Amino acid sequence: MDHEVKGRVAFAKIDVEGHESSVLRGMEVTLRHTDCLLVECSDLATDSKEPVLKLAAFFDERGFDSYRVGADCLLPLWGRHYHPLYDEWRYWSNVIAVRRDCAGLAEALAGLADVVGLDGAREEALLVGE
């Protein structure tokens, strides 16, 4: 990868059927000048099942915020935001990672990561549930 890519990468999409960790390890140099990545995380038994935690930690160490992509929101995964349920219940889904120093984009994605108030009725029920 690092042999082929010269220059700043604005966006990378990775869909390699469970081999995303190999690809990411092979693009260490490229990652240093990459702004944003979308990684498909497969849930298939035949594919490698690297934990989401490991993927989130990989991005965190390299200065990226990572999120699980949902229909109406993003779930933050890095650091204290990670919850083991995200690995216990795995779906075929996507993770998006954005470099923290890309201020505009990082802030825009963080704005999609607020689930509080997203679903009023359920949020109320969650409060009642306590």
CB of 36 to other proteins, least distance (A): 6
CA atoms within 13 A on the CB side of 35: 12
Tell which one of 60, 65, 81, 100 touches other proteins (CB under 8 A): 81
For other proteins, the binding residues in 96-115 under the rule CB under 8 A are 96, 102, 104-105, 108-109, 112, 115
Tell which one of 58, 84, 100, 101 touches other proteins (CB under 8 A): 84
CB of 33 to other proteins, least distance (A): 8
CA torsion, points 21, 24, 26, 31, in degrees to nearest 10? Answer: -170
- Cα–Cα dist 99/89, whole Å: 27
What are 24's two structure tokens? 């990411």
Q: Which residues pair with 66 in a beta bridge?
A: 97
Tell which one of 12, 55, 56, 97 touches other proteins (CB under 8 A): 12
- Tokens 């509080």 correspond to 116
CB of 106 to other proteins, least distance (A): 9
Contact between 126 and other proteins (CB under 8 A)? yes
